[in-house]
Amino acid sequence: MQLFRGKFLYGLRGLARAGRLRLPADWTALTLDTRCRDLRHKRWNVYICERYEHPTGVLNYLGRYLHGGPIAESRLLAFDGERVTFRYKDYRDRGPDGARPKLLTLARDEFLRRYLQHVPPKGFHLVRGYGLYRRGGSSEALRRRVREAVPLTPHLQASLTARLSPPPAPLAASDTCPACGAHLLVVWSEPRAAPLSTRAA
Query: Tens digit of pLDDT for each residue in 150-186?
Result: 566 676 666 656 655 555 555 444 577 777 777 776 6
Instruction: Flag whether pLDDT at 35 surpasses 50.
Output: yes
pLDDT, tens digit, 9 for 90 and up, residues 51-96? 777 778 777 777 766 666 778 888 999 999 899 999 999 988 888 8
* Sequence-ordered list of residues with C-beta below 8 angstroms from that of 44, at least 6 positions apart, any chain: 1, 4, 5
pTM of the model: 0.35
Looking at residues 126-154, what average pLDDT do you find?
A: 58
pLDDT greater at residue 189 or residue 109: 109
CA atoms within 13 A on the CB side of 137: 0
Tell me which of 92-96, 109-113, 119-123, 187-191 is least confident.
Answer: 187-191
User: How high is the pLDDT of residue 173?
Assistant: 46
- What is the β-pairing status of strands 173-176 and 76-79? unpaired
> Hey, what's the torsion of the CAs at 25, 31, 36, 37, to 10 degrees?
-170
Q: How far apart are CA 36 and CA 6, in angstroms?
A: 10
